[in-house]
Chain A
Protein backbone atom coordinates (compact mmCIF):
# COMPACT_ATOMS: atom_id res chain seq x y z
CA UNK A 1 0.00 0.00 0.00
CA UNK A 2 1.19 3.49 -0.86
CA UNK A 3 2.25 5.69 1.99
CA UNK A 4 -0.32 8.43 2.20
CA UNK A 5 2.29 10.90 3.43
CA UNK A 6 4.24 10.39 0.18
CA UNK A 7 1.37 11.30 -2.13
CA UNK A 8 1.62 14.51 -4.11
CA UNK A 9 -1.09 16.85 -5.40
CA UNK A 10 -2.91 15.15 -8.26
CA UNK A 11 -2.33 11.67 -6.84
CA UNK A 12 -5.39 9.58 -6.07
CA UNK A 13 -6.28 6.88 -3.56
CA UNK A 14 -7.39 3.49 -4.84
CA UNK A 15 -10.95 3.85 -6.19
CA UNK A 16 -13.66 1.67 -4.78
CA UNK A 17 -16.70 0.56 -6.77
CA UNK A 18 -19.61 -0.63 -4.65
CA UNK A 19 -21.92 -3.49 -5.53
CA UNK A 20 -25.28 -2.32 -6.95
CA UNK A 21 -27.27 -0.73 -4.11
CA UNK A 22 -29.67 -3.26 -2.61
CA UNK A 23 -32.62 -2.86 -0.29
CA UNK A 24 -30.77 -4.95 2.28
CA UNK A 25 -27.86 -2.44 2.25
CA UNK A 26 -30.29 0.29 3.25
CA UNK A 27 -32.16 -1.83 5.81
CA UNK A 28 -28.81 -2.65 7.41
CA UNK A 29 -27.82 1.02 7.48
CA UNK A 30 -31.19 2.00 8.94
CA UNK A 31 -30.70 -0.51 11.75
CA UNK A 32 -27.06 0.36 12.38
CA UNK A 33 -27.58 4.13 12.32
CA UNK A 34 -31.03 4.39 13.86
CA UNK A 35 -32.31 6.37 10.85
CA UNK A 36 -35.61 4.66 10.13
CA UNK A 37 -37.01 7.30 7.78
CA UNK A 38 -39.15 4.99 5.61
CA UNK A 39 -38.25 6.72 2.31
CA UNK A 40 -35.03 4.69 2.53
CA UNK A 41 -36.64 1.29 2.92
CA UNK A 42 -40.34 1.17 2.00
CA UNK A 43 -41.45 1.76 -1.61
CA UNK A 44 -44.92 3.07 -0.76
CA UNK A 45 -43.48 5.68 1.61
CA UNK A 46 -40.93 6.83 -0.97
CA UNK A 47 -43.71 7.17 -3.56
CA UNK A 48 -45.84 9.11 -1.10
CA UNK A 49 -42.93 11.54 -0.78
CA UNK A 50 -42.94 12.00 -4.56
CA UNK A 51 -39.89 9.82 -5.25
CA UNK A 52 -39.74 7.18 -8.00
CA UNK A 53 -38.49 4.66 -5.45
CA UNK A 54 -36.55 4.32 -2.23
CA UNK A 55 -33.34 6.33 -1.98
CA UNK A 56 -30.15 5.61 -0.06
CA UNK A 57 -29.43 7.55 3.12
CA UNK A 58 -26.97 10.30 2.24
CA UNK A 59 -25.07 9.23 5.33
CA UNK A 60 -24.80 5.68 3.97
CA UNK A 61 -22.93 7.00 0.94
CA UNK A 62 -20.85 9.35 3.10
CA UNK A 63 -20.02 6.45 5.43
CA UNK A 64 -18.91 4.36 2.48
CA UNK A 65 -16.75 7.21 1.22
CA UNK A 66 -14.79 7.34 4.47
CA UNK A 67 -13.47 3.84 3.92
CA UNK A 68 -11.04 5.04 1.26
CA UNK A 69 -9.02 6.36 4.22
CA UNK A 70 -9.40 3.47 6.66
CA UNK A 71 -6.25 1.60 5.47
CA UNK A 72 -4.14 4.64 6.50
CA UNK A 73 -5.14 4.60 10.17
CA UNK A 74 -1.51 4.26 11.31
CA UNK A 75 -0.48 7.40 9.45
CA UNK A 76 -3.16 9.74 10.64
CA UNK A 77 -6.89 10.32 10.94
CA UNK A 78 -9.65 12.26 9.25
CA UNK A 79 -9.74 15.63 10.97
CA UNK A 80 -12.39 17.21 8.77
CA UNK A 81 -14.90 15.57 6.49
CA UNK A 82 -17.40 17.74 4.62
CA UNK A 83 -19.88 16.66 2.00
CA UNK A 84 -22.65 18.15 -0.07
CA UNK A 85 -25.34 15.73 -1.18
CA UNK A 86 -25.90 16.66 -4.79
CA UNK A 87 -27.94 13.75 -6.11
CA UNK A 88 -30.10 10.84 -5.07
CA UNK A 89 -29.01 7.22 -5.03
CA UNK A 90 -31.61 4.63 -6.04
CA UNK A 91 -31.71 0.83 -5.90
CA UNK A 92 -29.25 -0.86 -8.28
CA UNK A 93 -27.19 2.28 -8.75
CA UNK A 94 -23.48 1.50 -8.91
CA UNK A 95 -21.47 3.99 -6.88
CA UNK A 96 -17.78 4.68 -7.35
CA UNK A 97 -15.82 6.37 -4.56
CA UNK A 98 -12.81 8.55 -5.35
CA UNK A 99 -10.30 10.71 -3.52
CA UNK A 100 -7.68 13.00 -5.01
CA UNK A 101 -5.01 14.82 -3.06
CA UNK A 102 -5.26 18.54 -3.83
CA UNK A 103 -2.93 20.17 -1.37
CA UNK A 104 -0.35 19.38 1.28
CA UNK A 105 0.11 21.53 4.32
CA UNK A 106 2.24 21.10 7.42
CA UNK A 107 0.96 17.98 9.13
CA UNK A 108 -1.98 17.34 6.85
CA UNK A 109 -3.16 16.41 3.39
CA UNK A 110 -6.29 17.79 1.73
CA UNK A 111 -8.41 15.68 -0.57
CA UNK A 112 -11.35 16.21 -2.87
CA UNK A 113 -13.67 13.26 -2.47
CA UNK A 114 -16.57 12.26 -4.66
CA UNK A 115 -19.15 9.53 -4.98
CA UNK A 116 -20.50 9.12 -8.49
CA UNK A 117 -23.04 6.94 -10.22
CA UNK A 118 -22.67 4.67 -13.24
CA UNK A 119 -23.71 7.56 -15.53
CA UNK A 120 -21.14 9.91 -14.03
CA UNK A 121 -23.60 11.93 -11.93
CA UNK A 122 -21.97 13.06 -8.71
CA UNK A 123 -24.07 12.29 -5.68
CA UNK A 124 -21.53 13.54 -3.16
CA UNK A 125 -18.93 16.21 -3.52
CA UNK A 126 -16.75 16.76 -0.52
CA UNK A 127 -13.45 17.42 1.15
CA UNK A 128 -11.31 15.52 3.61
CA UNK A 129 -8.56 16.98 5.73
CA UNK A 130 -6.34 14.11 6.76
CA UNK A 131 -4.19 14.85 9.79
CA UNK A 132 -0.78 13.16 9.49
CA UNK A 133 0.88 12.08 12.72
CA UNK A 134 4.25 13.75 13.13
CA UNK A 135 6.20 10.55 13.71
CA UNK A 136 5.06 9.31 10.31
CA UNK A 137 6.17 12.20 8.16
Chain B
Protein backbone atom coordinates (compact mmCIF):
# COMPACT_ATOMS: atom_id res chain seq x y z
CA UNK B 1 0.00 0.00 0.00
CA UNK B 2 2.85 2.40 0.82
CA UNK B 3 5.50 0.22 -0.83
CA UNK B 4 5.81 2.56 -3.79
CA UNK B 5 6.92 5.48 -1.62
CA UNK B 6 9.72 3.62 0.20
CA UNK B 7 12.88 5.68 -0.25
CA UNK B 8 11.01 8.87 -1.10
CA UNK B 9 12.07 11.90 0.92
CA UNK B 10 11.00 15.46 1.51
CA UNK B 11 13.00 18.55 0.58
CA UNK B 12 15.10 19.92 3.45
CA UNK B 13 13.44 22.57 5.57
CA UNK B 14 15.39 25.18 7.51
CA UNK B 15 14.50 25.19 11.23
CA UNK B 16 15.76 27.32 14.08
CA UNK B 17 15.95 26.00 17.62
CA UNK B 18 13.99 28.94 18.96
CA UNK B 19 14.40 30.09 22.54
CA UNK B 20 10.66 30.69 23.05
CA UNK B 21 9.73 27.35 21.49
CA UNK B 22 12.23 25.52 23.73
CA UNK B 23 10.79 27.21 26.82
CA UNK B 24 7.23 26.30 25.85
CA UNK B 25 8.24 22.74 25.05
CA UNK B 26 10.26 22.23 28.25
CA UNK B 27 7.32 23.51 30.28
CA UNK B 28 4.86 21.28 28.40
CA UNK B 29 6.85 18.16 29.35
CA UNK B 30 7.20 19.37 32.94
CA UNK B 31 10.95 19.90 32.66
CA UNK B 32 11.61 23.64 33.07
CA UNK B 33 15.27 23.04 33.93
CA UNK B 34 17.56 26.11 33.75
CA UNK B 35 19.83 24.29 31.26
CA UNK B 36 16.95 24.77 28.80
CA UNK B 37 15.66 28.16 29.96
CA UNK B 38 18.21 30.27 31.77
CA UNK B 39 21.10 31.83 29.83
CA UNK B 40 23.05 32.77 32.95
CA UNK B 41 22.86 29.21 34.24
CA UNK B 42 23.88 27.79 30.86
CA UNK B 43 26.96 30.05 30.66
CA UNK B 44 28.42 28.25 33.65
CA UNK B 45 27.94 24.79 32.12
CA UNK B 46 30.16 22.96 29.64
CA UNK B 47 27.81 23.95 26.82
CA UNK B 48 28.03 27.72 27.52
CA UNK B 49 24.55 28.05 26.05
CA UNK B 50 21.08 26.65 26.51
CA UNK B 51 20.29 23.26 25.02
CA UNK B 52 16.95 21.75 23.97
CA UNK B 53 15.21 18.70 25.50
CA UNK B 54 15.93 15.40 23.68
CA UNK B 55 12.46 15.05 22.17
CA UNK B 56 12.39 18.67 20.95
CA UNK B 57 12.79 17.59 17.28
CA UNK B 58 9.05 16.81 17.45
CA UNK B 59 8.60 20.55 16.93
CA UNK B 60 10.53 20.87 13.65
CA UNK B 61 9.12 21.06 10.16
CA UNK B 62 10.36 18.24 7.94
CA UNK B 63 8.61 19.07 4.68
CA UNK B 64 6.19 16.91 2.75
CA UNK B 65 7.12 13.50 1.40
CA UNK B 66 5.85 13.42 -2.20
CA UNK B 67 3.24 10.72 -2.75
CA UNK B 68 2.75 9.93 0.94
CA UNK B 69 -0.84 10.57 1.84
CA UNK B 70 -1.83 9.68 5.35
CA UNK B 71 -5.28 9.92 6.85
CA UNK B 72 -5.67 12.51 9.60
CA UNK B 73 -7.33 10.05 11.96
CA UNK B 74 -6.79 6.48 13.04
CA UNK B 75 -3.00 6.29 13.01
CA UNK B 76 -1.25 4.74 15.98
CA UNK B 77 2.20 5.86 17.06
CA UNK B 78 3.86 2.53 17.81
CA UNK B 79 7.51 3.33 18.37
CA UNK B 80 9.87 6.27 18.45
CA UNK B 81 13.66 6.21 18.26
CA UNK B 82 16.11 9.09 18.49
CA UNK B 83 19.82 9.21 17.97
CA UNK B 84 21.92 12.31 18.65
CA UNK B 85 25.54 13.21 17.98
CA UNK B 86 25.27 15.94 20.63
CA UNK B 87 22.54 17.98 22.33
CA UNK B 88 20.75 20.61 20.26
CA UNK B 89 21.65 24.22 21.03
CA UNK B 90 19.20 27.05 21.37
CA UNK B 91 19.65 29.43 18.46
CA UNK B 92 21.17 26.95 16.03
CA UNK B 93 19.90 26.29 12.54
CA UNK B 94 19.06 22.74 11.45
CA UNK B 95 18.03 21.49 8.03
CA UNK B 96 15.46 18.74 8.43
CA UNK B 97 13.88 16.21 6.12
CA UNK B 98 11.90 12.98 6.36
CA UNK B 99 11.98 9.80 4.33
CA UNK B 100 9.83 6.70 4.13
CA UNK B 101 12.30 4.07 5.23
CA UNK B 102 10.09 1.02 5.12
CA UNK B 103 6.57 -0.30 4.95
CA UNK B 104 5.45 -3.81 5.82
CA UNK B 105 2.37 -5.66 6.91
CA UNK B 106 1.86 -8.26 9.60
CA UNK B 107 -1.05 -10.49 10.40
CA UNK B 108 -2.50 -9.44 13.73
CA UNK B 109 -5.37 -10.75 15.84
CA UNK B 110 -7.65 -8.07 14.40
CA UNK B 111 -6.62 -8.29 10.77
CA UNK B 112 -3.59 -7.10 8.90
CA UNK B 113 -1.59 -4.31 10.46
CA UNK B 114 0.56 -1.98 8.37
CA UNK B 115 3.82 -0.60 9.74
CA UNK B 116 5.15 2.59 8.22
CA UNK B 117 8.68 3.55 9.22
CA UNK B 118 9.52 7.20 8.76
CA UNK B 119 13.06 8.37 9.26
CA UNK B 120 13.76 12.02 9.96
CA UNK B 121 17.12 13.75 9.94
CA UNK B 122 18.40 17.10 11.19
CA UNK B 123 21.67 18.41 9.70
CA UNK B 124 23.80 21.38 10.63
CA UNK B 125 24.79 24.05 8.13
CA UNK B 126 27.75 21.97 6.96
CA UNK B 127 25.50 18.99 6.22
CA UNK B 128 26.56 16.92 9.25
CA UNK B 129 23.80 14.86 10.82
CA UNK B 130 23.04 16.13 14.33
CA UNK B 131 20.12 13.84 15.03
CA UNK B 132 18.10 11.15 13.33
CA UNK B 133 14.76 9.82 14.39
CA UNK B 134 12.62 6.90 13.42
CA UNK B 135 8.91 6.78 13.90
CA UNK B 136 6.88 3.61 13.49
CA UNK B 137 3.26 4.31 12.60
CA UNK B 138 0.81 1.45 12.91
CA UNK B 139 -2.04 1.46 10.40
CA UNK B 140 -5.00 -0.76 11.18
CA UNK B 141 -7.04 -2.72 8.65
CA UNK B 142 -9.98 -0.33 8.99
CA UNK B 143 -7.83 2.70 8.27
CA UNK B 144 -6.13 1.03 5.31
CA UNK B 145 -9.50 0.20 3.78
CA UNK B 146 -10.46 3.83 4.22
CA UNK B 147 -7.30 4.95 2.39
CA UNK B 148 -7.84 2.48 -0.42
CA UNK B 149 -11.27 3.94 -1.22
Establish whether residues B31 and A66, one from each chain, have CB atoms under 8 Å apart when the complex forms: yes
- Name B73's closest neighbour in chain A (CB-CB): A49
Q: Report the count of interface residues on B (CB-CB < 8 A).
A: 34
Residues on the B chain within 8 Å of A33, using CB: 25, 28, 58-59
With the chains together, A52 CA to B87 CA distance in Å? 38
Known: A29-B29, A66-B54. A82 touches B82 (CB 8 A): yes
Q: Does B83 contact A (CB under 8 A)?
A: yes
Q: Does A120 contact B (CB under 8 A)?
A: no
With the chains together, A105 CA to B92 CA distance in Å? 31
Known: A59-B58, A77-B84. A67 touches B46 (CB 8 A): no
Known: A74-B46, A77-B84. A84 touches B79 (CB 8 A): yes
Encoded as 1 (CB less than 8 Å from any A CB) or 0, chain B from 83 to 110 comes to 1101100000000000000000000000
With the chains together, A31 CA to B55 CA distance in Å? 15
Establish whether residues B79 and A31, one from each chain, have CB atoms under 8 Å apart when the complex forms: no
Q: Does B30 contact A (CB under 8 A)?
A: yes
A58 to chain B, nearest CB (A): 5
Q: Does A71 contact B (CB under 8 A)?
A: yes
Q: From the candidates B30, B33, B51, B82, name the one contacting A81 in the complex (CB within 8 A).
A: B82
Q: Does A73 contact B (CB under 8 A)?
A: yes
B136 to chain A, nearest CB (A): 8
Q: Report the count of interface residues on A (CB-CB < 8 A).
A: 37
Residues on the A chain within 8 Å of B78, using CB: 84-85
A105 to chain B, nearest CB (A): 16
Known: A34-B59, A81-B54. A70 touches B35 (CB 8 A): yes
- Name A63's closest neighbour in chain B (CB-CB): B29
Q: Does A62 contact B (CB under 8 A)?
A: yes
The 30 sampled A-B contact pairs (Cβ below 8 Å) are A18-B30, A28-B28, A29-B29, A32-B24, A32-B27, A32-B28, A32-B29, A32-B59, A33-B58, A37-B72, A37-B73, A45-B73, A49-B73, A49-B74, A58-B80, A59-B55, A62-B55, A63-B25, A63-B31, A64-B30, A64-B31, A66-B55, A67-B53, A70-B33, A73-B87, A77-B84, A80-B83, A81-B54, A85-B77, A85-B79
Chain B residues packing against A (C-beta within 8 Å):
21, 24-25, 27-31, 33, 35-36, 45-47, 51, 53-55, 58-59, 72-74, 76-84, 86-87
